[in-house]
Structure 1
């Protein structure tokens, strides 16, 4: 149904310049535009350079300092935040958003501060299973907090009455994969594996995955077809190692058509970033996840919790990630075609394919001054989850 002028609202989305922030913000922007609303993006220079995102959406780059770096660094950061806040307040005088939606990251900080100063309703979206630093700083003033997981670390119980479980918005082409049958796989079919390490790759995957796949039981190894994304510095060595192992592999530094690659894949091996986990569960693809050990609050381990506990993934901590351990985990999930298909179904069971629509519903309610409908439990403590070494031999 086409919306009238009276139904049209304006929203400002504020997102840090990483893919983890930008992709869900892009998905929400597309949904809001499809509903006839006006959308503006505030980000930093990195976010403005992301290809293929926010087409037709006005983009504003604001200064935003990262809090840290000693006393001098802190002073510079505060100065940048105050400057960004002032610029955002001027933008809001011109564009008059009904609500401002923050996706975390330091570039979102001054935009949300400006919104609170001008009494514009705000919504925070947290992609990870642990509330990020910027969202923690802004949580008290926010009108609603949208989460991607049912349990969120570092989220105070005092905010439970404004916290809504919506999921992590992913692109439509990924959501549609979950509506398709899992790729055919039996005792003779090729086993197609997709390996990525986030937008910048991960050297440990380049070091471990080829040798791990080379250690597979012969009946599985000879059926491998691998696509691996890696850092430019690792490209030649990874390609040469697969050649030595006689494993067919396409090795590249950037995967443009992630939906197409994921569509063909039987198994994913990679990091447990929030967008990655959301895409795997929306598409229904089994995974072996290796959380980034240096992630703030170890949030990638917590990101992997839900899909792992559901049986859709196996989590291997980076300290345990060796070729032998990887080989045993791939065999455990892929030697039995039924087990692989079952893992795919279990991954899909925790997917939230309507996250963009549900988040848009929430944002509309807040923009209209309507209280959020509370859905989903939350948690405050952060402790090492018991599933962290699931399937890894002692």
Structure 2
């Protein structure tokens, strides 16, 4: 086993940032290391991901709102940087790893000031704003795709294609076969908009499924994750159309739902794509049109080109188009299973291991202060 060290993971509070950070934390702790998480209020309360990991909230701000907003964000980031430096005096990290999102910036800025090794992990197929901002200063850039847009050529020498880590429960699905689909058997559909939900899926999917041939529609069993403001209307619509559906605002058993799904209808967020390719599940993807740098469209390209998914731009995502694509996929069990295999071939099952190897390789002797225990969360919040 490698020498035990301390690592700080810094991530914004959305699932796209938090899930791979949690997967890396699990892998590092399995290797005997100690891990601390730096995030915002959303991140440290993310259900079930960082149990047993000490967490710290740092102010970060957002670069929005014109000159006054930028000035406020700069003050918040500077304050967060100072708090992070206080944390590092006692926790003494061997390296600080950023996963994007504004809360990662002050943690990385503090590491630069203290000459602590750093890396960033990019979950999307387009390098995000914070990762672009620090790309010239970090020691390594871990990517999830073989081609990452907006990564400058001069930084490619320190880029490492490791993939996007997923939770152990999702990775375990690679050992389970694609669920048996008989021509007249139950057809299970999983609908998910990611950690934030997606109103367009709640509005379009029920009507799209209603346009399927009656024999096909009667076979459907839908599990649908919806936003809280959409769930009642979506539930009523499914009931009106006599489509068997279970709805929830959060799916704590998402890996198990994914295990039994014959088809997934989803956004194209980084975690969604990595979980689809880890498990090997075919999908109809509807990229979020307002995503920064249109990164969800970029995320969907590889799995779509491989034949593991079909991508429908939101402007074209109508009930009739969904029904057409569903029939192309769902009425041919052999084609659907083939699509599942193609999705699986895009997966990077060793992403957490490879990212942990990269993180461990960053370690350099740090002899500044005696090792101590990190202050409690309240001291930094």
Instruction: State the TM-score, normalizing by the size of structure 1.
Output: 0.91
Whole-angstrom CA distance in 2 between matches of 1:367 and 1:328: 53
Name which of 302, 321, 332 aligns with 2:328: 332
Name which of 200, 204, 213 aligns with 2:200: 204
Whole-angstrom CA distance in 2 between matches of 1:226 and 1:47: 29
Whole-angstrom CA distance in 2 between matches of 1:48 and 1:99: 20
1:154 equivalent in structure 2: 150
1:296 equivalent in structure 2: 292
1:17 aligns with 2:13: yes
Name which of 215, 221, 225 aligns with 2:221: 225
1:274 aligns with 2:270: yes
2:314 equivalent in structure 1: 318
1:73 aligns with 2:46: no
2:375 equivalent in structure 1: none
How far does residue 89 in structure 1 lie from its aligned partner after superposition?
A: 1.1
2:109 equivalent in structure 1: 113
How far does residue 325 in structure 1 lie from its aligned partner after superposition?
A: 0.3
CA deviation vs aligned residue, 1:181-216 (integer Å, no higher than 9, x gap)? 100002111110000112221111111000101111
Q: How does 1:234-245 map to 2 (within 5 A)?
A: 234-245=230-241
1:390 equivalent in structure 2: none
SS in 1 for 2:131: helix
Instruction: State the TM-score, normalizing by the size of structure 2.
Output: 0.94
How far does residue 219 in structure 1 lie from its aligned partner after superposition?
A: 2.8
Q: How does 1:26-175 map to 2 (within 5 A)?
A: 26-175=22-171
Whole-angstrom CA distance in 1 between matches of 2:49 and 2:88: 23
Point out where structure 2 has 5 or more consecutive residues left out of the alignment. Answer: 366-381
CA deviation vs aligned residue, 1:296-348 (integer Å, no higher than 9, x gap)? 00000001011111100000000000000000111111110000100000000
Q: How does 1:357-372 map to 2 (within 5 A)?
A: 357-368=353-364
SS in 1 for 2:165: coil
1:214 aligns with 2:210: yes
How far does residue 368 in structure 1 lie from its aligned partner after superposition?
A: 4.5
Whole-angstrom CA distance in 2 between matches of 1:12 and 1:240: 45
Name which of 252, 257, 262 aligns with 1:261: 257
Whole-angstrom CA distance in 2 between matches of 1:74 and 1:368: 35
SS in 2 for 1:152: coil
User: Does the 8 Å contact 2:117/2:364 carry over to 1?
Assistant: no
Whole-angstrom CA distance in 1 between matches of 2:44 and 2:141: 25
Whole-angstrom CA distance in 2 between matches of 1:15 and 1:136: 15
SS in 2 for 1:101: strand
How far does residue 217 in structure 1 lie from its aligned partner after superposition?
A: 2.2
Runs of 4 or more, structure 1, over 3 Å off, are none
Number of equivalenced pairs: 365
2:379 equivalent in structure 1: none
* Greater Cα offset, 237-246 or 339-348: 237-246
CA deviation vs aligned residue, 1:69-92 (integer Å, no higher than 9, x gap)? 111111110000111111111111
CA deviation vs aligned residue, 1:356-386 (integer Å, no higher than 9, x gap)? 11100000011248xxxxxxxxxxxxxxxxx
How far does residue 218 in structure 1 lie from its aligned partner after superposition?
A: 2.6
1:351 aligns with 2:350: no
Whole-angstrom CA distance in 2 between matches of 1:235 and 1:10: 42
SS in 1 for 2:121: strand
Whole-angstrom CA distance in 1 between matches of 2:45 and 2:80: 19
RMSD value over aligned CA atoms? 1.0
